[in-house]
């Protein structure tokens, strides 16, 4: 290999990237349409939409905690991953034939249960298959392709609806087509990863494991608390979309704005993963928090639809600078308990995002969007100043 050339990522990691792309392609064909479907077709209200997201995310967070512990057993990872995708592929199209809002809520919860079941073992398998010095790139690839799928899905749904080629129910049912390919690729990735994982177990990485991996300590508490704090204070996407609409972005254009945000997220995920390997996950994550604080304050001060587009697209950079480094940091400290480490990470951050979303939503409704965004930005600034102390404590934990 030429000097300075980057080593290729394992083939299974690339396959998981394609799995994420196609799965999010199918999922995001549906998700932006659920508000219109629940309220316009099924006659539900805002309370039903709140219950939809709240129940789904809480269920996923709980399952992730349990799935992480199970994923410490390497033989269970493959079946859990495939079963998790199978649940989503089967359940999502059924939403098209529902007749009441509560049915959509129930199916959405089951869909997220599948996500909770597959995510910790998938991330654990990616971490085990990838050399430590390349994990930022590996998770950057997975997150980047995931966000790429979230670009294509809404665009296809928007085109089908705008052209009159299909109605809401037909578009939702069509999500089954990419779902079948997801299952095939997931099974292929899992089967291909088993032999390589056994080789990793027989010939472990030459880099000695840090002392924190000798016993079960998936992530030093100070670091996990800092990451969780960011999920607690970060403004939910739904509220940023609502802020954009208040600033003049038409509802009919929201799917295109959502797709454009994911273009930024996808591109920045590849760059953020590479930066994590060069600078370190802690430093890259810190940079993401700083960028978020600046952009959230900008969104609070925005006064036009054009400004809303600019600030929202800028916020897409935050995912690229935080998601991959977070996972690389978890993999570093989880050691031989990758499943438990990722289960704890996904479960705790999911729960904190739910709590933070409810709290910021209440501030948004009572005091206005600008106040909620400034509060969120202020929390980001505080986290930026606290993180160096947290990182120092984590190194000595």
The per-residue pLDDT for range 49-98, each reduced to its tens digit, is: 545 566 677 778 888 888 888 888 888 888 999 999 999 888 888 888 87
Q: What is the pLDDT of residue 375?
A: 95
pLDDT category of residue 113 using cuts at 50, 70 and 90: confident
Model confidence, pTM: 0.75
229 confidence band (pLDDT: 50, 70, 90): very high
Measured CA to CA in angstroms, residue 182 lies from 96, 178, 284, 293 at distances of 20, 6, 31, 36
Instruction: Assign 34 a pLDDT band (cuts: 50, 70, 90).
Output: low
Kindly report the number of other CB atoms within 10 A of residue 396's CB atom: 7
Confidence at residue 190, expressed as pLDDT on a 0 to 100 scale: 86
Identify the H or E element spanning 49. Answer: helix 46-70
pLDDT-derived band at 206 (thresholds 50, 70, 90) equals very low
CA-CA-CA-CA torsion sign (241, 343, 116, 146): positive
Tokens of 81: 């991953």
Q: How far apart are CA 32 and CA 156, in angstroms?
A: 12
- Does residue 211 carry a pLDDT above 70? no
Alpha carbon 11 to its chain centroid, in Å, reads 22
For 14, 27, 268, 344, the CA distances from 145, given in Å and listed in that order, are 9, 14, 11, 24
Contact (Cβ atoms closer than 8 angstroms) between residue 68 and residue 343: yes
Nearest-angstrom CA–CA distance, 366 and 361: 9
**What gap in Å lies between CA 160 and CA 168, rounded to an integer?**
9
Q: How many CB atoms sit inside 10 A of residue 203's CB? A: 8
Write down the mean pLDDT value for the chain: 81
**Is the per-residue pLDDT at 117 higher than 70?**
yes
pLDDT at 220: 62
Residue 284 has pLDDT above 50, yes or no: yes
| pLDDT at residue 350 tops 90 | no
CA distance 231 to 247: 25
pLDDT at res. 290:
95
Residue with tokens 């604080």: 293
pLDDT band at 135 (very low <50, low <70, confident <90, very high): confident
pLDDT of residue 156 exceeding 60, the answer is yes
pLDDT tens track for 362-376? 888 788 889 999 999
Question: For residue 250, how many other CB atoms are within 10 A of its CB?
Answer: 11
Q: Determine contact, residues 265/316, Cβ cutoff 8 Å.
A: yes
pLDDT in tens, 124-134: 898 888 888 88
For range 211-230, the mean pLDDT: 65
Q: How far apart are CA 397 and CA 394, in angstroms?
A: 5
Residue 319 neighbours by CB distance under 10 Å: 24
3-state SS, residue 264: helix
pLDDT in tens, 259-268: 899 899 988 9
């Amino acid at each position: 290999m030429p000097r300075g050339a980057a080593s290729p990522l394992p083939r299974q990691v690339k396959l998981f990237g394609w799995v994420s792309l196609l799965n999010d392609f199918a999922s995001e064909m549906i998700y932006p349409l659920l508000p219109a479907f629940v309220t316009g077709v099924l006659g539900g209200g805002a309370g039903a939409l709140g219950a939809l997201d709240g129940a789904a995310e809480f269920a996923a967070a709980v399952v992730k905690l349990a799935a992480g512990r199970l994923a410490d057993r390497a033989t269970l990872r493959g079946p859990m991953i495939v079963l998790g995708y199978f649940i989503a592929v089967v359940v999502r199209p059924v939403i098209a034939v529902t007749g009441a809002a509560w049915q959509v809520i129930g199916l959405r919860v089951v869909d997220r249960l599948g996500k909770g079941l597959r995510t910790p073992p998938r991330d654990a398998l990616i971490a085990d298959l990838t050399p430590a010095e390349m994990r930022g790139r590996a998770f950057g690839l997975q997150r980047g392709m995931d966000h790429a799928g979230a670009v294509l899905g809404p665009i296809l749904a928007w085109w089908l609806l705008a052209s009159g080629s299909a109605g809401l129910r037909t578009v939702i049912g069509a999500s089954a087509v990419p779902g079948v390919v997801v299952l095939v690729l997931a099974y292929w990735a899992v089967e291909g990863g088993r032999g390589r994982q056994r080789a990793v177990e027989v010939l472990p990485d030459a880099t000695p494991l840090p002392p924190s991996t000798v016993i079960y300590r998936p992530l030093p508490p100070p670091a996990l608390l800092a990451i969780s704090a960011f999920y607690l204070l970060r403004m939910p996407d739904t509220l940023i979309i609502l802020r954009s609409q208040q600033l003049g972005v038409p509802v009919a254009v929201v799917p295109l704005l959502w797709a454009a945000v994911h273009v930024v997220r996808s591109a920045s995920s590849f760059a953020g993963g590479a930066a994590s390997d060069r600078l370190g996950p802690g430093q890259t994550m810190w940079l993401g928090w700083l960028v978020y604080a600046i952009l959230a304050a900008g969104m609070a001060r925005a006064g036009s639809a054009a400004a809303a587009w600019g600030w929202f697209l800028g916020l897409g950079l935050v995912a690229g600078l935080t998601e991959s480094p977070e996972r690389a940091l978890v993999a570093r400290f989880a050691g031989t308990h990758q499943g438990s480490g990722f289960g704890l990470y996904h479960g705790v951050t999911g729960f904190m995002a739910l709590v933070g979303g409810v709290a910021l939503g209440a501030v948004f409704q009572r005091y206005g969007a600008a106040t909620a965004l400034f509060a969120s930005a202020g929390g980001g600034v505080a986290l930026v100043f606290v993180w160096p102390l947290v990182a120092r404590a984590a190194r000595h934990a």
